[in-house]
Amino acid sequence: MAKRTFKAGVTSQTVDVFIMDSSSTIGAGLSGLAFNTAGLKAYYRKGATGSATAITLATQTVGGAWSSGGFVEIDATNMKGVYRLDVPDTVFASSPWATLYLYGATNMAPVALELEIVAIDPFDAVRLGLTALPNAAAEAAGGLYTRGSGAGQINQSANGQVDVDAKKINSVSAASVTTVNANLGTTQPVNFTGTGASALVKGDTVDIAGTAVTAAAGIPEVKVASIATDAITAAAIAADAIGSSELAASAVTEIQTGLATSASISTLQTSVDDIPTNAELATALGTADDAVLAQVALVKAKTDNLPADPADASDIAGAFVTVNTTLATIAGYVDTEIGTIITDIAAVKSDTAAILLDTGTDGVVVNAAGLATDAVNEIADGILNRDMSLGTDSGSTTFRTMRQALRFLRNKWDVVAGTLTVRKEDDATASWTSTVTGTAGADPITGSDPA
């Protein structure tokens, strides 16, 4: 069984398969197959527990873009029996392997192809798709070190040893750390005070930045060149740690400079002297009271001119008298006009009763007795002289109207094959028809076309 290797998760993959002609005795390839050849089928199976899943074959060209199930013969002359198959993406979705199987066409030997689906990328020349490794060539920037003395290599003077040429130690040039160089490979004592988690390392400081450290009563004496701004705070100094003997004369002077001086106190006293006394305040308030009282007197003078009862009831009563007078006048008009209206309505009712008495309860009805002789004659003359082309025709060929009866006497008519057709006033449009019966041997009248 042929085998191909693919990385898990790849898509749009194509394989070439060789299909043998089962009728050939020399193992020749079978040509002429297409995606829709009768009986041709394709299946795939994934893993040890997968089941056979059908692949829907589809049309394809040799150089066409991938299309799931695409199937086409490569070259019937130069590569007889070799076909391109576009494998569905689901086959490569996960590892470890899958099997393709094609069969069923006439003279076709079944074909099985194993696809090895791996987690690595066999086409990645740097790290085989393994993301835990650097994605760079060995000894290159970002790549792995190798053994040797060249660029990107680590030299090994002997097994278990690595040569180290340190450029700096704790950001200090290695060439300047002479004490470390001198003591490498020797045993140095380390003293502790306390035990367990509370153990502390004891050390002796000889100098700081090249300046010798002296001690008195076990307290190192250190000369500080400078202290950073705001480095000394109240929280950083123990209570009573700084006494008068620890303060220099210049510090005392600077502190005093920040305090109030006799000149500033004199200025403050001048400001206090400007504050008015109680007597001065009383005089000022008295003057203010006089001004307020004067304004109150002005307001009182205005209010004294107001009537004792601004909303006097007599004014309201007078207004109501005027209103009542007006209403009485209106009432007089209403009584007079309504009386006249009632009288007119009574007259209308009387006239209506007289009309109904003459004509009956149906109102005005014109009956035969009500028509004068000249009116009857005028109506008859109007009917006889009525132009039948005027007015609205019933439109029916079956209704027998006076209009239709008179058309036979005045309009054109004709008899054709035993059917009488009477025309309308235009002597063309049929108004009504009738079946006529002739007498043998008689001269039939077949039509009338009056002028």
Same domain, 26 and 108: yes
248 falls within a domain: no
Write down the pLDDT at residue 169: 65
Residues 335, 337, 338, 342, Cα dihedral to 10°:
130
Residues with Cβ within 8 Å of 201's Cβ and at least 6 positions away in sequence, in order, are: 190, 191, 192
160 falls within a domain: no
181 falls within a domain: no
Domain boundary among 90, 118, 146: 118
Domain boundary among 118, 148, 171: 118
Write down the pLDDT at residue 114: 95
Same domain, 401 and 333: no
422 falls within a domain: yes
Total domains present in the chain: 3
Does the structure show a pLDDT above 70 at 310?
A: no
Write down the pLDDT at residue 176: 61
Same domain, 331 and 412: no
Q: Residue 355: give the domain boundaries.
A: 314-364
* Reported pTM: 0.36
In the predicted model, what is the mean pLDDT of the chain? 80
Reduced to 3 states (helix: H, G, I; strand: E, B; else coil), residue 434 is strand
pLDDT digits (tens, 9 = 90+) for 14-60: 999 999 999 999 999 999 999 999 999 999 999 889 999 999 999 99
> Which of 78-92, 113-127, 355-369 has the lowest average pLDDT?
355-369
399 falls within a domain: yes
Reduced to 3 states (helix: H, G, I; strand: E, B; else coil), residue 420 is strand
Strands (E), 19-171: 41-46, 53-54, 58-59, 70-75, 79-87, 97-103, 111-118, 146-147, 153-154, 168-169
Write down the pLDDT at residue 62: 97
Does the structure show a pLDDT above 60 at 298?
A: yes
pLDDT digits (tens, 9 = 90+) for 139-185: 777 778 787 877 777 877 777 777 776 666 666 666 665 555 555 55
Contact assessment for residue 99 and residue 91, using Cβ atoms and an 8 Å cutoff:
no
Write down the pLDDT at residue 77: 96
Q: What is the CATH number of the domain that holds 75?
A: 2.60.40
